[in-house]
Structure 1
C-alpha cells in the first residue's frame, strides 16, 4: 500500500450535522448528545453552526475533545464566537450547502427547514448516507418514508436515540467493535 493510500485510510471519518431544532426540545438535546458521541468515537464533526441544534452539536463535540470543522456562508475569517477547531468561511451564502453535503462521509439530519432539505438532496445526489433523527418532529422524521427521489442513491438509516446512532455508525463501518 502506498503512503498516500495509507494516509487516506487513516483519515478520521467525518459526519456533517445538518438541520435545526430549538433549545429545550428533545431534538436539540439529542443533537448535543450526538455531537458528544461523534467526538468520543473519533469522528470529525462538520457543522455550519447556523442553527441552535448544529451549534450545540459542535459545542458538545469540542467539549468532549473532538475536532469540529465549521463551514460558514460568510467570508469572515474573524468570527470569534464560532465553536470549531477549523473555520472555513466560504463566502458563498446558501451555495455552501453543497460543501456541507460533500464534506462528510455521512450526514446526520436533525429536524430541518428548507436549507436542510437542500443539503439532504445534495448529499443524496452525491451518494452520502443519511442518518435522520426520528420521533422528534421536523423534516428528518419524514426522510425514511419520503426520500429525495426513487433512485435509492444512498442508505437512509434512522435513529431516535444515541444508542441507535452508535449502531448506525457501526453499520456504516465508522466505528470499530
Structure 2
C-alpha cells in the first residue's frame, strides 16, 4: 500500500439517508481512483464509505476507538483496534493524505480540527462551515479534489 493515496472519509456514526448515500458515492469513487479509504470503522458515514469502496473492489482501513477489531463494520479490510477512544480521530487524519468530511457532529469537528492543524486538506460535503474547509459541490467534486491533492502528496 506504500505509494498509494490514502483518503479519510469522516462523518457521523449515525448518518441520515442523504449523508449515507453521499458517503457511499464517495467511497466508490475513491476506490475507482485507486485510493485506500480510511475511516473510524464503525457505522453511519464510516460504514457507507467502506461499503461504497468495497462495491468497486477498493480497500478500506479502519482505526477503531475500542480494543476489539470485531467491532469494525463488515466492509473493513484492515481493522486496527487503537483503544484510544476519540483520540483515534487524530490517527485517522494523520494516516490520510486528504480528508472528506460529510455532515457530522463534534467528533467530525475534531477530525476537521486535527486536519487543519496538521495541514491536511479537508473537502466538505454538507459539513461544518469553518475556515479552511473547501466546500465541494458533490461526491465527484470532493473525490477529484482529494485525489489531486493526495496524488501530489505521495509523488
The count of corresponding residues between Structure 1 and Structure 2 is 151
TM-superposed deviation, 1:81: 4.4
Relative to structure 2, which stretch is displaced further, 100-109 or 46-55? 46-55
The whole-number CA distance in structure 1 between the counterparts of 2:72 and 2:47 is 14
Partner of 1:168: 145
Q: Residue 71 of structure 1 is aligned with which of 39, 63, 66?
A: 63
Please tell me whether the aligned partners of residues 124 and 142 of structure 2 are also in contact (alpha carbons under 8 angstroms). no
Structure 1-normalised TM-score?
0.76
The whole-number CA distance in structure 2 between the counterparts of 1:53 and 1:170 is 19
Please tell me whether the aligned partners of residues 19 and 51 of structure 1 are also in contact (alpha carbons under 8 angstroms). no
Q: Structure 2: 5+ residue runs without aligned partners?
A: none
Could you report, residue by residue, the CA deviation over 1:139-172 in whole angstroms, capped at 9, with x for unpaired residues?
Answer: x151xxx32xxxxxxx632212133224413542
* RMSD after superposition: 2.2
1:159 matched to 2:151: no
TM-superposed deviation, 1:83: 1.9
Could you report, residue by residue, the CA deviation over 1:91-128 in whole angstroms, capped at 9, with x for unpaired residues?
Answer: 11111111111110011101010111111111111110
TM-superposed deviation, 1:30: 1.1
After TM superposition, the structure 1 = structure 2 runs for residues 81-92 of structure 1, keeping only pairs within 5 Å, are 81-92=73-84
The whole-number CA distance in structure 2 between the counterparts of 1:16 and 1:166 is 11
Relative to structure 2, which stretch is displaced further, 164-173 or 11-20? 164-173
Please tell me whether the aligned partners of residues 63 and 82 of structure 2 are also in contact (alpha carbons under 8 angstroms). yes
Structure 2-normalised TM-score?
0.86
Greater relative contact order (CA < 8 Å, ≥ 6 in sequence): 2
TM-superposed deviation, 1:16: 0.6
Q: Structure 1: 5+ residue runs without aligned partners?
A: 1-6, 135-139, 148-154
The whole-number CA distance in structure 1 between the counterparts of 2:64 and 2:111 is 14
The whole-number CA distance in structure 1 between the counterparts of 2:72 and 2:94 is 25
Query: Which of the pair is proportionally richer in strand?
Result: 2
Please tell me whether the aligned partners of residues 39 and 62 of structure 2 are also in contact (alpha carbons under 8 angstroms). yes
